[in-house]
Amino acid sequence: MAIDYLKLFGDDFDTVLKALDDLTPAAERVLLNSLDNMVFDAQTFSTTIEKQISSMTSSGMSRGAVASSLNNDMKTGGRIFGALRNSVKSGIVEGVQETAKLGQYDNYDLDKGNFAWVTVGGHKVCADCDGRAGDVGTFNYHETEGLPGAGWSVCQAYCYCVLDPTGKLPKKVQGVPVREKRAGLSPPKVKPEPAWKKTFSSKNTKANTAFQDTFKHANDKFKKFLTKLPEIRHIDSGTGGSYFTEAGLNIKGASEASKKYARRYGRINMAGLDGAYNSAVIRHEFGHFIHHNIHHRGIDDYLINNMLKDWKLNKKKFSNNPKKYLKESEFGELWINGRINALIKNNPGLNRASLYDSLEDLLKFDDAFVSTNVRLGNPTRSKVAKEIFWGKKQELLEIRLRAAYGNNIDDIPDWIKSRYGYTKHSIPLDDKFINACIADRTEDMWGMIADLYGAITKEKLGYGHGQSYYTNSGMQMQFHETYANLTATYTHRNPIYWEYVKKEMPDIAKHFEDVIDKVNSGKLSVN
């Protein structure tokens, strides 16, 4: 219930209320909170003294004796009146301290710069604050750890520490002695930005922020993986859709070095950088960047397609050993080695061994691709395969419809139900994966997974890019889109999508995770 201060303190309090207009909203909240505490204390005191009087009279004390006892308690600051005085004093001190702390930051942009924790000399410093002395970080960092006087430390509201905005102390705390550096201690270090964020180093700061915000939900393993990748220096906000391209930079005024960097490492165009759906698109397009820099790095799609065809024809001849195939096959000697020689000549920084490692991993990825298709019943050459395939097809249809329309079958349009012969749900209504897809409908996470099925099976299952996209572009485009969708699901804030992929496509999911582990451990280089 709101407190009527005018009724409580009299008409003179109107002047106090008018003075609140000169306070910042934050300071006003602190003051009113202190007053609320004082009123609460007064109400508590009233109850306490009533109980005390009742107890005294019940024990046989006279009115005069009761009055004398209370009067003596008030004069001496005894158990009853002393508790009230200490409580009110505490409330006032807390309010003053907190208001002062708020005023300390009024002149600073709290989103920029670093603040140093400064203990105040001349009094005993509590152990908690003593440990913070000299700590440097952003205001947000200090807010997370606990601001001076915020109640996190032993001294709580009685904390006299201050935050110094890197040598620019406000007037209210000028002259406060800064804690001297103790012998043997290194100077304080500013908390740096997480290393993985530096991967996004485009001149388009808005794009960098969008990508960083998207991948902040990824696990620590993936964030370490980001630090191993080349920086992506070219993220455009142009029209024409969202896509990754290996084509050179076509920007007026771009330096030759920038153009060369874009040709080697690739670039991303994002049609828009706001909205929930674009988070999935960002993860998808960055997956293309990953695949390019792990498996391609200048080795063109024509060569990749032909290498994959030759590998499928000759893998038994080389005991299913990709390394042996690359080094000893006629295709490896003539085509691959020749291309690698040309790449190294044009890009001296490229490492021959790592290029062969990349191609070896790509051939292993192809093996995972084949086994995943077999698991899905594709190709449907046997009766068993046909049963698996058509069962999966019906299951995916139900997920698609429920992801789009929800769990109420009556919400699905009749013409759709008629077209697909859909009459009832077969998967339980409390299925966590489907309900996650429904919840993330605006982001179209089911669309990402449907596109993953499409890439693996050339859209015999799933949907997304269209069957002609895969029919006309060769195997390597299946790999491109598979990697993009694996990245989009693996880095989602909700791990349920990756758990689904691991359950339905264990071989290809394991290969993706193995790549991350190999890059993190240095077994697979991307340079």
Q: Is 198 left (phi over 0), alpha (psi -120 to 50) or beta?
A: alpha
Of residues 355 and 187, the one with the higher pLDDT is 355
Q: Is the pLDDT of residue 297 over 90?
A: no
Q: What angle do CA 449, 281, 285 make, to 5 degrees?
A: 95
Q: Provide φ and ψ at 125, rounded to 5°.
A: -100, 130
Residue 288 confidence (pLDDT) above 70: yes
Q: In this structure, how many other beta carbons lie within 10 angstroms of the beta carbon of residue 277?
A: 16
pLDDT(139) > 90: no
In this prediction, residues 33-60 reach a mean pLDDT of 61
The more confidently predicted of residues 165 and 495 is: 495
- pLDDT over 50 (residue 176): no
Q: How far apart are CA 147 and CA 501, in angstroms?
A: 43
Question: Do 457 and 471 touch, CB atoms closer than 8 A?
Answer: no
Rounded Cα distance, 238 and 206, in Å: 13
Q: Which has more pLDDT, 423 or 54?
A: 423
Average pLDDT over residues 72-86: 63
Distance in angstroms (rounded) separating the CA atoms of residues 262 and 365: 26
Q: Does position 26 have pLDDT exceeding 60, yes or no?
A: no
| Amino acid (one-letter) located at 70 | L
Domain boundaries, the chain: 5-103, 105-173, 199-215+242-274, 301-521
3-state DSSP assignment of residue 425: coil
pLDDT band at 59 (very low <50, low <70, confident <90, very high): low
The residue type found at 164 is D
Cβ 272 vs Cβ 468: under 8 Å: no
Higher pLDDT, 30 or 518: 518
Q: Report which listed range, 91-105, 142-156, 157-171, is most confident.
A: 142-156
pLDDT of 106 higher than 50: yes
- 242-255 mean pLDDT: 72
Residue 174, pLDDT above cutoff 90: no
Statement: residue 289 has pLDDT above 50:
yes
Residue for token pair 């201690």:
185
Task: Please report, rounded to a whole number, the percentage of residues in the chain having pLDDT higher than 90.
Answer: 40
- Phi, psi dihedral angles at 136 (to 5 degrees): -120, 135
Number of H helices, E strands in the chain: 24, 6
Nearest to 344 by CA among 233, 264, 246: 264
As a 3-state breakdown, the chain gives helix, strand, coil percent values, each rounded to 5, of 65, 5, 35
Neighbour count for residue 194 (Cβ, 10 Å): 12
Q: Which residue has the tokens 């791990």?
A: 495
Specify the range with the lowest mean pLDDT, choosing from 27-31, 50-54, 294-298: 27-31
Confidence (pLDDT) at 390: 95
Token representation of residue 309:
């065809």
In the DSSP assignment, the letter for residue 190 is B
Higher pLDDT, 433 or 470: 433
pLDDT at 99: 46
Q: How confident is the model at residue 428 (pLDDT cuts 50, 70, 90)?
A: very high
pLDDT of residue 8: 47
Q: How far apart are CA 286 and CA 289, in angstroms?
A: 5
Percent of the chain at pLDDT exceeding 70: 70
Cα–Cα distance measured from residue 174 to residue 152, given in angstroms and rounded to the nearest whole number: 25
Q: What are phi and psi of 257, to 5 degrees?
A: -65, -40
* Residue 69, both tokens: 């006892």
Q: What is the mean pLDDT of residues 113-126?
A: 69
Over residues 225-238, the mean pLDDT reads 90
The answer, yes or no, to whether residue 125 has pLDDT greater than 80, is no
Where are the strands (E) in 22-105, listed by range?
Answer: none
- 485 by Cβ neighbours in 10 Å (0-12 / 13-18 / 19+) ranks as buried
330 CB neighbour count, 10 Å cutoff: 9
Give the mean model confidence (pLDDT) for residues 241-246. Answer: 86
Mean pLDDT of 88-112: 53
Whole-number pLDDT of residue 171: 28
pLDDT of residue 329: 92
Q: Respond yes or no on whether the N-terminal peptide bond of residue 194 is cis (omega within 30° of 0).
A: no
Least trusted range by pLDDT, from 206-220, 235-249, 435-449: 235-249
Residue 160 DSSP SS3: coil
* Range with lowest mean pLDDT among 97-101, 307-311, 523-527: 97-101
Q: What pLDDT is attached to residue 508? A: 97
pTM exceeds 0.85 for this model? no
Nearest 5°: CA angle at 519, between 516 and 522?
A: 145
Residue 2: name the closest of 32, 46, 24 by CA.
Answer: 32
- Segment 356-392, tens digit of pLDDT: 999 999 999 999 999 999 999 999 999 999 999 999 9
Report which of residues 7 and 64 the model is more confident about: 64
Query: Using 50, 70 and 90 to split pLDDT, how confident is the model at 435?
Result: very high
pLDDT at position 302: 84
Report the C-alpha gap between 91 and 44 in whole angstroms.
14
pLDDT digits (tens, 9 = 90+) for 405-415: 999 999 999 99
Distance CA 433, CA 415 (A): 26
